[in-house]
């Protein structure tokens, strides 16, 4: 049996992420650095640094151990890409031992400036990390997907006893501080997760309507992603396989391109993470329209009072995805699909 995919889900092999913020005392070019540890196709294994510019674009630095993808898009980050280069990222460390986190890396930026980051916690006092959906797509001007980035055991670097040696061309980087203590411990606004799962939900890069062959169980498999159909053109669920867990996406009823209809979808990782929930609508005719909206946002599963306060329904973590809307038009004669995401967070903050 053959079927058409209404959209594509893309798997990302980013396994660790850290964000080092210095917005209150920004550099001449950058105000935040993001370190990623990547392990999987199509990149291979290595580190990437995303440098957030003061003009709202990003510069991307790929370690030379990674496979360099020249036409890669970064549209879920601010205004998008400024420069994407491959360079040596040295003296790297991204580990947690004895309840203490270490983050370290060095590289030369596009202005030939040496950037060094070294952060080492010395206190092993108990901390209480949280599980969260990262709001990485909140500031995207032209998003090409809904970036669903689950961060397990997400935490903030503690201030007390922490060794900090961060500079750009020898000038000290003054890291932002978190405004209130957490569990009686002052924190930096530097935050991290050593265990991440990232999918690109309904990626809009391809404008060709993809026809696929289903197996006897009405399943189409594409490496880490399985699309499960109820019948031809009626998508029931998608399963994305990660090392620690599967992320399951369910449509109730099935998202059927053959007839008008509406329903709900959920994006469900591990139970402790909570889930993302939204609505969809199908309008058929000579052309078929697919509308999707994460209307209910991310519903967290907090482990204590403090995380309940931070991740509740008034939080940015819950609300940012609710401002995303997807629309596609499928032309059955030309077998093309024209799709786009709209991010209303930009309008609200402008």
- In this prediction, residue 306 carries a pLDDT of 77
- % of the chain at pLDDT higher than 90: 89
Confidence bin at 70 (pLDDT 50/70/90): confident
Give residue-wise pLDDT tens across range 163-211: 999 999 999 999 999 998 888 899 999 999 999 999 999 999 999 999 9
Tell me the average pLDDT across 1-29.
96
- In this prediction, residue 110 carries a pLDDT of 97
Tell me the average pLDDT across 290-305.
92
Average pLDDT value over all residues in the chain = 95
DSSP-derived pairing of the beta strands 219-222 and 211-213: unpaired
- Measure the CA angle with vertex 31, ends 101 and 195; round to 5°: 30
Q: What is the pTM of this model?
A: 0.92
Q: Measured between alpha carbons, how far is 261 from 289 in angstroms, rounded to an integer?
A: 11
Give residue-wise pLDDT tens across range 264-287: 999 999 999 999 999 999 999 999
306 DSSP 8-state letter: H
Nearest residue to 296 via CA among 143, 75, 133: 133
- In this prediction, residue 307 carries a pLDDT of 81
Q: What burial letters (b/e) apply to 183-199, b meaning 16+ CB within 10 Å?
A: eebebbbbbbbbbbbbb
Q: Measured between alpha carbons, how far is 138 from 323 in angstroms, rounded to an integer?
A: 9
Three-state secondary structure readout of 327-338: EEEEECCCCEEE
Strand partners, 38: 14, 46
Q: Is the pLDDT of residue 150 over 80?
A: yes
- In this prediction, residue 305 carries a pLDDT of 78
H-run or E-run covering 61: strand 58-63
Q: Is the pLDDT of residue 349 over 60?
A: no
Give residue-wise pLDDT tens across range 208-220: 999 999 999 999 9
Q: Is the pLDDT of residue 245 over 60?
A: yes
Give residue-wise pLDDT tens across range 78-112: 999 999 999 999 999 999 999 999 999 999 999 99
Q: Is the pLDDT of residue 304 over 90?
A: no
Peptide bond before residue 144 is cis, with ω within 30 degrees of 0? no
How many residues are given for the chain? 350
Nearest residue to 245 via CA among 130, 133, 150: 150
Tokens linked to 247: 């992320």
- In this prediction, residue 350 carries a pLDDT of 45
- % of the chain at pLDDT higher than 70: 99
- In this prediction, residue 348 carries a pLDDT of 55
DSSP-derived pairing of the beta strands 146-158 and 171-172: unpaired
Q: CB under 8 Å to 109, separation ≥6 — which residues?
A: 29, 30, 51, 59, 61, 115, 168
- In this prediction, residue 324 carries a pLDDT of 97
266 DSSP 8-state letter: E
Task: Return the sign of the alpha-carbon dihedral for residues 166, 169, 172, 178.
Answer: negative
Q: Measured between alpha carbons, how far is 31 from 53 in angstroms, rounded to an integer?
A: 6
């Amino acid at each position: 049996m053959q079927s058409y995919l209404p959209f594509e889900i893309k798997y990302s092999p980013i396994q660790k992420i850290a964000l080092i913020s210095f917005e209150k005392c920004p550099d001449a070019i950058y105000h935040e650095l993001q370190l990623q540890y990547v392990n999987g196709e199509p990149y291979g294994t290595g580190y990437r640094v995303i440098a957030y510019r003061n003009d709202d674009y990003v510069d991307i630095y790929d370690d030379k151990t990674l496979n360099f993808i020249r036409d890669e898009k970064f549209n879920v980050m601010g205004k998008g890409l400024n420069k994407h280069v491959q360079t040596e990222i040295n003296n790297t460390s991204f580990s947690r031992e004895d309840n203490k986190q270490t983050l370290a890396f060095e590289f030369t930026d596009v202005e030939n400036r040496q950037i060094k980051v070294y952060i080492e916690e010395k206190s092993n006092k108990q901390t209480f990390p949280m599980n969260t959906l990262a709001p990485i797509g909140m500031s995207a001007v032209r998003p090409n997907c809904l970036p669903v980035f689950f961060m397990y055991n997400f935490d903030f670097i503690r201030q007390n006893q922490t060794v900090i040696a961060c500079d750009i061309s020898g000038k000290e980087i003054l890291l932002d501080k978190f405004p209130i203590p957490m569990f009686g411990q002052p924190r930096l606004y530097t935050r991290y997760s050593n265990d991440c799962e990232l999918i690109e939900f309904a990626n809009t890069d391809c404008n060709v309507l993809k026809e696929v062959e289903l197996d006897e169980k009405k399943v189409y498999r594409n490496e880490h992603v399985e699309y499960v159909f109820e019948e031809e053109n009626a998508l029931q669920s998608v399963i994305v396989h990660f090392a620690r867990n599967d992320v399951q996406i369910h449509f109730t009823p099935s998202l059927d391109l053959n007839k008008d209809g509406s329903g709900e979808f959920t994006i469900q990782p591990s139970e402790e993470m909570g889930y993302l929930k939204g609505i969809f609508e199908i309008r058929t005719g000579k052309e078929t329209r697919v509308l999707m909206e994460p209307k209910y946002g991310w519903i967290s599963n907090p482990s204590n009072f403090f995380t309940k306060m931070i991740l509740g329904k008034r939080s940015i973590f819950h609300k940012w995805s609710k401002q995303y809307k997807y629309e596609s038009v499928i032309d059955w004669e030309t077998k093309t699909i024209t799709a786009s995401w709209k991010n209303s967070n930009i309008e609200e903050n402008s």
